[in-house]
Structure 1
Amino acid sequence: MVRRVRRLLAAVAGAVLATACALTLAGTTAAHATTPKPPVAGVDITGDELDEPLRLRADTRPTEVNAVLDQVDWLGRTGQQRGPQAADLGPKYTVVVLAGDVPKNTYDLYPLAKGGPRIYRPAKQPDRSKTLAGWFFGRLNMSETLRSAGVPLEPQFDTISGGAGGGGRVIPDDSLVPKQDLDATMNELQRLLLLNAGVMVVITVGLAGIALLVRRRTR
């Protein structure tokens, strides 16, 4: 009888302890779930020919803030370990992303780098998060995005909006000037058509000759 009572008390105690642990874990999870992450308050930009930082805030310049964030928020976990030569990087602009009023992430942007815009992400971040240092190809519209935010850069109207990497200019300069006028183009087309017609005549004559030769031999 005593053993049964002890077993019953042990089972009840275990159930109570398990329930308490489950409730504690659920409360902790709910607390984490209900605690919202601080929204991005804005970005600070420093760099070449900027006497003082550009302080863009989401409540006053949301379009510019989102455009700058779009340049860096897609980076993967790992990048290239080696970047271009220092002489090929061009002007450097450091972007610091703020969560609330606290610096969270930092990136170095090179919009005029040779071979296309580049981004360098340092391993040491303001929020002390663990990340891997690396180089990344930037978006083709990086220069225009920074210029719209207030960075003193020359306008580039022939860049593609969005996309990643691949050069500062997409349309070659010499392609903007017509190489042939309409008459020259029509002459080239006419020559091509005549050449094709001549080839068809030669093929037809050749087939007719072969057919005639085969016919004579089969008689």
Structure 2
Amino acid sequence: MIRRVRRLLIAVTGGVAALACTLALAGTAAAQAAPKPKPAPTGVDISGERLDAPLKLRTDTSPNEVNLVIDQVRWLGTTGQLRGPAAKDLGPKYTVVVLAAAGPQRTYDLFPLAKGGPRIYRPGKQPDLSSTRAGWFFGRLNMPETLRSVGVPMPAQFDTLAGGVGGGERVLPEEALDPVHNLDTALGELQRLLLLNVGIVLVITAGLAGIALLVRRRTR
């Protein structure tokens, strides 16, 4: 009996030791495999159409502007669309390079006036040599106004919505802002509807009258 208990204790102790070693090795491997935290951004460089030299924004002098630009790209997922709009539908391109203390980290191509809404292209080759997938993404609706507010020479667009994705053109058509035009259109539609209803009533009345006349002739 004592021997059996001793063997059982030895087996349990060995199993616990093996489990502890396994957990330790797993913890070490997980620590080694854990991605390194991204360095804090120190600024952004913006280059593109109508910019003779890159627009340099730094967190120590323009923190709000830097955050506004980074907010346009910080939410991108791991994968995007493989194909973007046709080149003729993209409009002006602005390249944004996100900087850290060690130098350039990430780069993105922004198309704020693309047909169908702002677009973002993330190249597969990044300045920090990290591995990522190239892809196209829909941009935020406020991308044109954000770029203009930080110094990019773009026309003001006051009718774009803040936040969200897609939509680089006017959110409301010009016709929607003309109440007289909308009223005339509504009255015209109402008039056509009334005429259609009157026509239907006349056709039904004529049909009933014809049926009544036919029935009367046959019953004589």
Whether these two folds match at TM > 0.5 is: yes
| Cα displacement (A) at 1:162 | 3.2
Distance verdict in 2 for CA 1:67–1:209, change over 3 Å? farther
| Equivalent position of 1:73 in the other structure | 75
Tell me, in whole angstroms, the C-alpha distance in 1 between the residues paired with 2:131 and 2:112: 26
Contact 2:76 2:137 in 1 (8 A): no
How far did residue 38 of structure 1 move? 4.6
SS at match of 2:146: helix
- Alpha-carbon distance between aligned partners in 1 of 2:156 and 2:38, rounded to the nearest angstrom: 34
Partner of 2:208: 207
1:145–1:58 CA distance, 2 compared to 1 (3 A): farther
Gap runs ≥5 in structure 2: none
Other-structure match for 1:136: 137
Deviation string 1:93-136 (CA, Å, 9 cap, x unpaired) is 22233567664422110112344322211001233322222233
Aligned residues with identical type, % of pairs: 49
Going from structure 1 to structure 2, the CA distance change for 1:216 and 1:120 (only over 3 Å counts) comes to same
Residue pair 2:140, 2:163 contacting (<8 A) in 1 also: yes
- In structure 2, what is the equivalent of residue 84 of structure 1? 86
Task: Give the conservation status (yes or no) of the 8 Å contact 1:56–1:65.
Answer: no
Deviations 1:39-96 (A, max 9, x none): 74355131131634332539963476156424452345132245522x5533322223
Equivalent position SS for 1:196:
helix
Question: In the alignment, is the contact (CA less than 8 A) between 1:68 and 1:146 conserved in 2?
Answer: no
Q: Distance in 1 between matches of 2:15 and 2:67?
A: 54
Give the conservation status (yes or no) of the 8 Å contact 1:50–1:151.
no
Structural mapping, 1:26-175, within 5 Å: 26=27, 37-38=37-38, 40-41=40-41, 43-48=43-48, 49=51, 51-57=53-59, 61-62=63-64, 65-66=67-68, 68-71=70-73, 73-75=75-77, 77-81=79-83, 83-85=85-87, 88-98=89-99, 103-173=104-174
- Of the structure 1 ranges 49-58 and 156-165, higher mean CA displacement relative to structure 2 is found in 49-58
> Structure 1 residues 142 and 24 mapped into 2: Cα distance closer, same or farther (>3 Å)?
same
Preserved contact between residue 111 and residue 119 of structure 2 (Cα < 8 Å): yes
| 1:111–1:168 Cα contact (<8 Å) kept | no
> What TM-score do the two structures reach when normalised by structure 1?
0.68
| Paired AA for residue 74 in structure 1 | L
What whole-Å deviation, never above 9, does each CA across 1:125-168 have from its counterpart, x for those lacking one?
Answer: 23332222223333332211211222221101222333433542
Q: Distance in 1 between matches of 2:134 and 2:127?
A: 14
TM-score by length of 2: 0.68
**CA 1:69–1:214: 2 relative to 1, 3 Å:** farther
RMSD, aligned CA: 4.3
Determine the C-alpha separation between the residues in 2 that align with 1:20 and 1:187: 83
Q: Which runs of 5+ in 1 are unaligned?
A: none
Distance, in Å, in 2 between the alignment partners of 1:21 and 1:146 is 52
Alpha-carbon distance in structure 1 between the residues aligned to 2:205 and 2:59: 75
